[in-house]
Amino acid sequence: MQIIRLLSDETINKIAAGEVIESPASCVKELIENALDANAKKITIEMLGGGLKLLRISDDGFGMSRLDAKACILRHATSKLVSADDLFRISTKGFRGEALASIASISKVKIATKKDGDEGIELEVEEGKVAKEKPLARRPGTTIEVRSLFYNVPARKKFQKSAPALSAEIFRIVTTMALSHPDVHFELISNQRSIIKTEHTGLEKRAEELLGEEFVSGSFPLHYKCDAFELSGMIGSPQNTRSNKTSQHLFINGRAVVCVPIANAVRMGYATRLEERRHPIFLLYLTASTDLIDVNVHPQKLEVRLREEELFHTEVERAVMNALQEEKPKSTYSFTPTNTAFEDVSFKFEEEQTPELLPFEKTSAEFLGQFGSHLLFKEEDELVFLDSKAVSFRTRFEQLQKNETKAASQGLLVPIRVDLTPVECAMVLTHQDAIEGMGFSLRSMGGETFQVEALPPFLDEWEVQDALVEMAHALQAFIGEKDYSEARQEKLALITASRAKRKSGYLQDEAIRLYEELHRCESPKFCPKGNPTKVHLNDDEIKALFRADQKTAKSS
């Protein structure tokens, strides 16, 4: 008896499809790459329901002949690679001829295409095979429509994220593609709404459109050439940093890649100018001979290896150092409120008030006075220094974590307008509830604009734009994560609390209130960043300070 059978083409395609197309975003990436390989100058991406319902990618590239259109959905059908030798001098993005075959086997595909001098054609593809075809009058170029992605692979469909999360991934891919090809126009339309639409070509304008003006104005231009490679683009000023690496954009030979050694070398170029745990922002394009770069050709992997890592490290570090020395950033980074006209009349309904808290026991501490930002108390027989900044950071943080701030949120008479990049906007929309839990109230105004109608009581208005941008960037870390709601709450609370107003003068009862708020905290000893909130000195320790063999104060 023979139990070994050959798998049908259909099954082989479905299995292989899983490797190439794991989400709507990877489908979009493949289709955009095909359009770019066809020399398109304008690419439009439409999607419904995060791309699971519909994806439609249209380009004005050179299109396909009727015969090619029918062949393009076959596995290992490619116009880009003829023999194994070609593998070593590949310049197109795709070459394995797998993407369309994969997509066609796990969705319902319609292809409309026309090549100059040829008749246009429209094909309907089902289960990987041409089901219908008819001639079509259209301009040269190609439109590929993908409906019901994963309809016949329920196991994969089940593991897809929610539509907003999938959309956010697509925003990100399109942004990256549009950055990697600043000479090609892109438009992304989600649920009939235009989300990204590039108006300009050229690196600087493109960066401004997609990453925000602030990214560009706060960056130094960088142009560097050495024997091994050419590097150009822009790097953020040392003040314009982020808490994560999502604003580091690197393209090697036209591909968006992750390349840790280069990112590290960039950081080294800043030497001591960066604060700990802050990351520079950059948009860099590296062009090098393909001999030096090892692009992992697995379709999902963007990682590259460098043949001469040391050399790259030294040269990239030097490129960054030079750029930071030679010129000033385009304009010094500073925040300008977007609603300047209303700035003066904008105020809050009420003065800041501390959220209503549980009644507390009388404290035994006596307030002695204030020294700089430190508050001095006598606690039984100890002298206690409170660092008022660290303490308010801690108390705000815990209030935010427990959702106690939302109720105290302050309505604004004149809402604050906040402009975000498409990706930031997508993140804010996706996590709007969680952000509002911090005491913000947001209204989407279409495009990438929001109106902030209420704020946490302790936040200054001019912090709002930066706070939301920082949140949007931090939230990107949760793409693809499961069970992140606690981590997210903590992150958002941290960002919001770290921007709380710094009070300078404390009256006695305010000082005592702060002291008591601190003692109701779950972790009163340290601020959320780990700095001590208070220092105790007892009599012996104070005496020791006056002796030659002094000991250091103990912190508690």
What minimum distance in Å lies between the beta carbon of 93 and ligand ADP?
Answer: 7
Dist. CA 468–CA 425, nearest whole Å: 9
Phi/psi for 16 (5° steps) reads: -65, -35
- Given the DSSP bridges, would you call strands 282-288 and 248-252 parallel, antiparallel or unpaired? parallel
Residue 198 in the binding site for Mg ion (CB under 5 A) = no
32 or 281: CB nearest ligand ADP: 32
98 or 517: CB nearest ligand ADP: 98
Say which entry of Mg ion, ligand ADP, none residue 38 contacts (CB below 5 to 8 A, set by partner kind): ligand ADP
Q: How far is CA 496 from the centre of its chain?
A: 18
Binding mask 259-288 for ligand ADP (x = CB under 6 A): ------------------------------
Longest dimension (CA), the chain: 98
Say which entry of Mg ion, ligand ADP, none residue 128 contacts (CB below 5 to 8 A, set by partner kind): none
61 or 280: CB nearest ligand ADP: 61
Dist. CA 82–CA 284, nearest whole Å: 32
Residue 34 in the binding site for Mg ion (CB under 5 A) = yes
Interface residue with ligand ADP among 9, 48, 53, 95 (CB under 6 A) is 95
34 or 441: CB nearest Mg ion: 34
Structure tokens belonging to residue 122: 């429209």
Dist. CA 41–CA 407, nearest whole Å: 51
Helix (H) or strand (E) holding 204: helix 203-211
The DSSP secondary structure of 455-483, one letter per residue, reads E-TT--GGGHHHHHHHHHHHHGGGTT-SS
CA angle 231, 211, 437 (to 5 degrees): 140
What minimum distance in Å lies between the beta carbon of 29 and ligand ADP?
Answer: 11
Q: Which residue is nearest to ligand ADP (CB)?
A: 94
The candidate with the shortest Cα–Cα distance to 274, out of 303, 248, 305, is: 248
Q: Give the range of 61-69, 234-242, 413-421, 427-435 binding ligand ADP by CB under 6 A.
A: 61-69
Number of chain positions touching ligand ADP (CB under 6 A): 23
**Sheet with 449-455, side-by-side order of all strands:** 410-419, 449-455, 441-444
Residue 176 in the binding site for ligand ADP (CB under 6 A) = no
Q: Are 56 and 145 in contact (CB under 8 A)?
A: yes
Dist. CA 15–CA 290, nearest whole Å: 31
Interface residue with ligand ADP among 17, 27, 35, 235 (CB under 6 A) is 35
Work out whether the CA dihedral 152, 156, 162, 164 comes out positive or negative. Answer: negative
What minimum distance in Å lies between the beta carbon of 76 and Mg ion?
Answer: 12
Structure tokens belonging to residue 343: 């700035």
DSSP lists the bridge partners of residue 418 as 450
Residue 104 in the binding site for ligand ADP (CB under 6 A) = no
Q: Give the range of 70-78, 151-159, 230-238, 304-312 binding ligand ADP by CB under 6 A.
A: 70-78
DSSP lists the bridge partners of residue 193 as 190
Residue 105 in the binding site for ligand ADP (CB under 6 A) = no
Phi/psi for 347 (5° steps) reads: -150, 170
90 or 535: CB nearest Mg ion: 90
Cβ atoms < 10 Å from Cβ of 110: 16
Residue 59 in the binding site for ligand ADP (CB under 6 A) = yes
Residue 140 in the binding site for ligand ADP (CB under 6 A) = no
Q: For the packed helices 422-430 and 464-475, what is the interaxial angle rounded to 10 degrees? A: 80
The candidate with the shortest Cα–Cα distance to 193, out of 395, 377, 444, is: 444
What minimum distance in Å lies between the beta carbon of 78 and Mg ion?
Answer: 7
Residue 79 in the binding site for ligand ADP (CB under 6 A) = yes
What minimum distance in Å lies between the beta carbon of 178 and ligand ADP?
Answer: 17
Interface residue with ligand ADP among 72, 123, 177, 386 (CB under 6 A) is 72
Binding mask 90-109 for Mg ion (x = CB under 5 A): ----x----x----------
20 or 121: CB nearest Mg ion: 20
Please give, one letter per residue, the 3-state secondary structure of 62-106.
Answer: CCCCHHHHHHCCCCCCCCCCCCHHHHHHCCCCCCCCCHHHHHHHC
DSSP 8-state secondary structure symbol assigned to residue 184: S
Say which entry of Mg ion, ligand ADP, none residue 80 contacts (CB below 5 to 8 A, set by partner kind): ligand ADP
Structure tokens belonging to residue 340: 């300047």
Binding mask 52-91 for Mg ion (x = CB under 5 A): ----------------------------------------
Residue 61 in the binding site for ligand ADP (CB under 6 A) = yes
Q: Give the range of 89-97, 177-185, 219-227, 377-385 binding ligand ADP by CB under 6 A.
A: 89-97
Say which entry of ligand ADP, Mg ion, none residue 405 contacts (CB below 5 to 8 A, set by partner kind): none
**Helix H segments across 212-308?**
213-217, 260-269
Residue 63 in the binding site for ligand ADP (CB under 6 A) = yes
Say which entry of Mg ion, ligand ADP, none residue 415 contacts (CB below 5 to 8 A, set by partner kind): none
Q: Which of residues 228-257 bind Mg ion (CB under 5 A)?
A: none
Q: Are 521 and 396 in contact (CB under 8 A)?
A: no
Interface residue with ligand ADP among 41, 42, 66, 80 (CB under 6 A) is 80
80 or 525: CB nearest Mg ion: 80
Beta strands in 388-539 (DSSP E): 410-419, 441-444, 449-455, 534-538
Helix (H) or strand (E) holding 135: strand 129-136
Residue 36 in the binding site for ligand ADP (CB under 6 A) = no
Q: Which residue is nearest to Mg ion (CB)?
A: 94
Please give the residue ranges that form the binding site for ligand ADP (CB under 6 A). Answer: 30, 34-35, 38, 59, 61, 63-64, 68, 72, 77-80, 94-101, 142
Please give the residue ranges that form the binding site for Mg ion (CB under 5 A). Answer: 34, 94, 99
